[in-house]
A and B are shown apart, each in its own frame.
Chain A
Amino acid sequence: MSRSKNDLPDPLILAAAGAGIAVLATGAALLQRRRHRESRGQEETIATDAPHWTLDKASSRALFGKSVLINRPRAELYAAWMPERFPEFMENVVAVDDLGDDVSQWTIRAPAGREVTLVNRITERVEDTSIYWQSTPVSDIANSGEVRFIDAPAGRGTYVSLILAYDPPAGKVGRFAAKLLQREPEVQARRDLHRFKQLMETGEVTTNASPSARGAESPTEPHI
């Protein structure tokens, strides 16, 4: 796999090294990526500048990545991406508690009215550029990731990329069930990233909350 000069180190390697913790699921993801890189190295004939999370077929990726253009300066967005503010734009994050030492505990709404708890440690911050995290062993869902901030050209603001690896609860079945209920982490991450964009650009999270003749809906709650 080729890397351009300004490419940052693999977020998973950094995260794992920084935390000194090898959570089983993300460790496996890392291994898989290494294996991919090795096999790719032999076959590679054409270089690519595509982001690493877009390589391979979507179904065989261990990583999820999504980027949005946000019309605000990089430093402002970097400063706003703090766990205390997550409940403002992460739909299913009910609360974030600071446990000290860059560890925070997230309470998240899960399928079937349950709640899950994530305990994540921020493993590295690169000022105005990226934030890496890694779950601790007590976390209900093993996960790690990076949020990356890059200047967009021509004064358009910032490209914000969210790169995520996680171990789906109860394997593929759990993932499918969560997807059906629209609580699947990739769907959720994509939507939350758009909510972050809305909040930072417009000062509020967009909602279509409005009346309808459907009895079950409230005029103050969003609907599909």
Chain B
Amino acid sequence: MRAVTWQGRHKISVETVPDPEIVNPRDAIIRVTSTAICGSDLHLYDGYIPGMRAGDIVGHEFMGEVVETGAASTLQRGQRVVVPFTISCGQCFFCEKQQYSACDNSNPSETRDASELMMGHAMGGAFGYAHLTGGYAGGQAEYVRIPYSDVGPVVIPDDLADDDVLFLSDILPTGWQAAVNADIEPGDTVAVWGCGPVGLFTIQSALLLGAGRVIAIDHFPTRLALAKKYGAEILDYTKVDVREALAEMTGGIGPDACIDCVGMESHGFTVDNILDQVKVKLLSSTERIHALRQAILACRKGGRLSIPGVYGGFADKFPLGQLMEKGLTVKSGQTHVQRYSGDLLEMIQAGKFDTVSLISHHASLEDAADMYRHWHDEQNLYTKIVLKPGLAKGAVSARQEMEHA
């Protein structure tokens, strides 16, 4: 089969590799019909995630058709399913608590040692995301083996298109969990840093969960326009002092909840971020936490800080005293996708989410290398890329309004 592989920093290639096979009774094999490139794939692309090996198949947002099932799988051939990016057994202590991304069985014994050494405890497994999370082949491929296929995959009714439901795999539940973790109370003001796909779903989720207003922060005009379309007030951080604007918009007290949808590769030309960039280049730090610092300083006293943004290790100049003195509550973590899948599918069917208008491009799986480059270099134009193994090479379609832009 054909698959998108990581070959090194800024090196992505589409290769012919062996087809996956059923290995365990609970496995299923799916034929991928749609797979998206995630913002966190850029952390792999930029070489910031340890534990990648040349030749790894990437991709963790995907859906497709069941083509083969193991003896204990509950799926049936021909079913259309969306697959959560987190691999979860459903039966360990963590899965029973619905903390699916903390699954204690999905990271195999061969790979969990390194993960435990680095994090204190082994992380749960995930598709296409380095060997610290299990070393599983990813979904930017024609076929994928799905372990524990009786627990994760969400069966999709025929009347829903791929684009309607693909993001149930990661970014929709990630945005939803980000808002849930902000413990939003009716009428709250919620500030969201980053209007990438996760930020855009966080904005929609915060409003659905009762926020009075959402203030979104970014600098790419297209992404800010989408944020506005989904109901947020917007701040371009290149035009205003974000903390001053947030304070003045909230009578001086600051937002009730602040959500960092940026993560480890924060942009911006402030002194702290430039120092972070230098440290990362010198390999003395992995994180650029400018957005997170700003969120902590901006948040109201006794407020909530939710961190869906991905971080990989140790950070410098973390405002710990500010966090403590202001009495903030912090919630974070990889998404417990399986916990939210059913409810979110119903909400999509009820038309509560716009899951489609953030997609800027559809392209062939064969064009993945070009698409990674665009995704990395042209974040204003490329707001979400969906790869289709069925499309012919070079058959790229861009969204209507982008063509007018």
List chain A positions with a Cβ less than 8 A from chain B: 69, 71, 91, 156-157, 187, 190-192, 194-195, 197-198, 201-214, 218-220, 222-224
- In the docked arrangement, what's the CA distance between A190 and B110, Å? 10
**Docked-complex contact B57 and A204, CB < 8 angstroms:** no
**Docked-complex contact B137 and A210, CB < 8 angstroms:** yes
Apart from A213-B17, A219-B145, A222-B108, what are 7 other A-B pairs with CB-CB below 8 Å? Answer: A197-B92, A203-B26, A207-B24, A208-B125, A208-B134, A211-B57, A212-B17
**Docked-complex contact A211 and B18, CB < 8 angstroms:** yes
Q: List 29 A-B contacts (CB under 8 A).
A: A69-B93, A71-B93, A157-B93, A187-B113, A191-B109, A197-B92, A198-B109, A201-B89, A201-B105, A204-B25, A205-B24, A206-B105, A207-B24, A207-B147, A209-B21, A209-B145, A211-B19, A211-B57, A211-B137, A213-B3, A213-B5, A213-B13, A213-B15, A213-B17, A213-B55, A214-B55, A223-B110, A224-B110, A224-B131
Chain B residue contacts of A218, Cβ below 8 A: 18
Chain A residue contacts of B25, Cβ below 8 A: 203-204
**Smallest CB–CB gap between B338 and chain A, Å?**
14
- 10 closest A-B pairs by beta carbon, nearest first, are A210-B137, A213-B55, A191-B109, A214-B55, A194-B109, A213-B15, A204-B24, A213-B5, A211-B17, A202-B89
Instruction: Tell whether B253 is near chain A: CB-to-CB under 8 Å.
Output: no
Interface size class of B (residues with CB under 8 A): 35 or more
Residue in B closest to A212 when the chains form the complex, CB atoms: B55
Chain B residue contacts of A197, Cβ below 8 A: 92, 104-105
**Docked-complex contact A224 and B55, CB < 8 angstroms:** no
Residue in B closest to A210 when the chains form the complex, CB atoms: B137
Chain B residue contacts of A213, Cβ below 8 A: 3, 5, 7, 13, 15, 17, 54-57
Chain B residue contacts of A69, Cβ below 8 A: 93, 104
Residue in A closest to B23 when the chains form the complex, CB atoms: A209
**Smallest CB–CB gap between A128 and chain B, Å?**
20
Q: Is the interface of A mostly helix, strand, loop or mixed?
A: loop
Instruction: Tell whether B106 is near chain A: CB-to-CB under 8 Å.
Output: yes
- In the docked arrangement, what's the CA distance between A24 and B3, Å? 55
**Docked-complex contact B53 and A71, CB < 8 angstroms:** no
Instruction: Tell whether B332 is near chain A: CB-to-CB under 8 Å.
Output: no
**Docked-complex contact A206 and B72, CB < 8 angstroms:** no
**Docked-complex contact B110 and A212, CB < 8 angstroms:** no
- In the docked arrangement, what's the CA distance between A197 and B89, Å? 12
Chain A residue contacts of B148, Cβ below 8 A: 202
* B274-302 with Cβ < 8 A to chain A: none
Chain A residue contacts of B112, Cβ below 8 A: 194
- In the docked arrangement, what's the CA distance between A215 and B56, Å? 11
Instruction: Tell whether B111 is near chain A: CB-to-CB under 8 Å.
Output: yes
User: Chain B, 12-46, contact with A by CB distance < 8 Å: what is the 0/1 string?
Assistant: 01010111110111100000000000000000000
- In the docked arrangement, what's the CA distance between A202 and B96, Å? 12
Instruction: Tell whether B136 is near chain A: CB-to-CB under 8 Å.
Output: yes
Residue in B closest to A198 when the chains form the complex, CB atoms: B105
**Docked-complex contact A210 and B20, CB < 8 angstroms:** yes
**Docked-complex contact B105 and A208, CB < 8 angstroms:** no
Instruction: Tell whether B135 is near chain A: CB-to-CB under 8 Å.
Output: yes
Residue in A closest to B96 when the chains form the complex, CB atoms: A71
Residue in A closest to B89 when the chains form the complex, CB atoms: A202
**Docked-complex contact A210 and B106, CB < 8 angstroms:** no
Chain A residue contacts of B135, Cβ below 8 A: 208, 223-224
Cβ contact of A71, chosen from B55, B91, B144, B147, cutoff 8 A? B91
Residue in B closest to A157 when the chains form the complex, CB atoms: B93
Chain A residue contacts of B17, Cβ below 8 A: 211-213
- In the docked arrangement, what's the CA distance between A208 and B106, Å? 9
Chain A residue contacts of B20, Cβ below 8 A: 210-211, 219
* Given known A206-B105, A207-B23, A213-B5, contact A201–B111 (CB-CB < 8 A): no
Q: Which of B23, B106, B125 has the most chain A CB atoms inside 10 A of its CB?
A: B23
Chain B residue contacts of A191, Cβ below 8 A: 109-110, 113
